[in-house]
Amino acid sequence: MELRAHVLEFQKHGLSVAAISYDSPEILKDFAARRNINFPLLSDADSRTIRAFGILNETVQHGSSVYGVPNPGTYVIDAKGVIAAKYFEAEYAERVTASDILVRRFGALPAALDVPATNRVEGQHLRVTASTSARYTIGGQKIALVLTLEMKPGIHVYAPGVQGYKPVEWEMSPGAAGLPERLFTPVTWPPSKMLRLKAIDETVPVYEKRLRLVREFTVPSDQLLRTATSSEGRIALDGVLRYQACDMTTCYNQETLPVHFEVQVLRHDTERVPEELRRRPETQ
């Protein structure tokens, strides 16, 4: 379970972690021992809790051995028992990863994981570091691509929607890896600051000092995954960051910097995802 590596990260945010399945306590005991899992695995053998949540997988035939499984997903529940966030996927093969939830919910890259920056570029006015929420991934998972911009003192860049200046833009060129654009979500823009430029009597939305941009990438499955993966099992994703930097007196020419992400693809864990259970869209 990818979750295991992130339990400490959730604990730092005051959250404990538990996982529910329809397996017997014996199966869970064996599984926990084999995988060295030390957070609670809860047995919902009659799927009563799965039903109480209303997430029984109704697409599974009654009477089959897999009847009773839930639609897989994750709830973040506050201390009073109220759901603060939830993460489910419409596609059977897609999974939200724990590291992705950490990034999306807490804006925090799981530092303890020692996720390597895959690329660092020094521009004239800022440094941009590209990193991914996970070092390893499998087909169907969602991972977060993160750009961290560290601006030089006194420098600001412009937020989307600015008039008269060029806003920060982050474009991926998925075509280079043979991947369709739909695998990338739009960028999540943090709130900008309104900066008043006295000399020209203007107020503009800007970012200063440090800016973190996040977008999600869905690792493709099957043929697309094979196309995009190198012989070393890596997916490389390239794009560009464009920005116009200004300080309080001068605006500089727009600069374009290359950004580069890499993630290692693991083969599907067949203990969890047997071949015969994967979706076969063409056989409906």
Partner 1 sequence: MLLLGVTLVAAAISTGPSVGAKIPGFSLTDQNGRTREFANLKGPKGLVLVFFRSADW
**Is there a contact between 141 and 87 (Cβ–Cβ < 8 Å)?**
no
Contact flag: residue 118 with partner 1 (CB under 8 A): no
| Per-residue contact flags (x/-) with partner 1 for residues 53 to 92, judged by CB under 8 A | xxxxxxxxx--xxx--xxxxxxxxxxxxxxxxxx-x-x-x
Q: Determine if 31 is a binding residue for partner 1 (CB under 8 A).
A: yes
Task: Tell me if 16 contacts partner 1 by CB under 8 A.
Answer: yes
The residue whose two tokens read 């390597």 is: 116
Contacts with partner 1: how many residues (CB under 8 A)? 77
Using rule CB under 8 A, residue 146 touches partner 1:
no
CA dist., res. 224 & res. 218, Å (int): 11
Q: Which position among 5, 36, 42, 260 is part of the footprint of partner 1 (CB under 8 A)?
A: 42
Residue 15 and residue 74 in contact, taking contact as beta carbons nearer than 8 Å: no
| Residue 253 vs 284, nearer CB to partner 1 | 284
Binding span for partner 1 by CB under 8 A among 32-40, 122-130, 142-150, 253-261: 32-40
Partners of 204 in beta bridges: 195
Min dist. Cβ of residue 250 to partner 1 (A):
45
Rounded to 5 degrees, φ, ψ at 4 are -55, -40
- The first and second tokens of residue 154, run together, are 């006194």
CB of 54 to partner 1, least distance (A): 5
Cβ at position 182, least distance to partner 1 in Å: 16
Question: Which residue, 103 or 130, has its beta carbon nearer to partner 1?
Answer: 103
Closest distance between partner 1 and the C-beta of residue 32, in Å?
4
Identity of the residue, 38 or 254, whose beta carbon is nearer to partner 1 in the bound complex: 38
209 vs 268 by CB, closer to partner 1: 268
Q: CB count, 10 Å around CB of 145?
A: 25
Which CB atom, from 133 or from 192, has the smaller least distance to partner 1? 133
We find the least distance from the C-beta atom of residue 233 to partner 1, in angstroms, to be 25
CA 241 – CA 170 distance, rounded (Å):
5
Residue 227: φ, ψ to 5°: -65, -40
* Segment 240 to 279, residues that bind partner 1, using CB under 8 A: 271-272, 274, 276-277, 279
Binding part of the chain for partner 1, among 45-53, 139-147, 182-190, 194-202 by CB under 8 A, reads 45-53
Please tell me whether residue 216 adopts helix, strand or coil conformation: strand
> What gap in Å lies between CA 196 and CA 223, rounded to an integer?
52
**123, two tokens:** 């521009």
Tokens standing for 167? 């806003």
Nearest-angstrom CA–CA distance, 24 and 43? 6
CB of 217 to partner 1, least distance (A): 22
Q: Which is nearer to partner 1, 144 or 213 (CB)?
A: 144
CA 221/CA 235 separation, integer angstroms:
12
Give the burial string for 262-280 (b: 16+ CB within 10 Å, else e). Answer: bbebeebeeeeeeeeeeee
Candidates 20-28, 121-129, 171-179, 200-208; binding stretch for partner 1 (CB under 8 A): 20-28
Select 69 or 149, whichever has its Cβ closest to partner 1: 69
d(Cα 72, Cα 81) in Å, to the nearest integer? 20
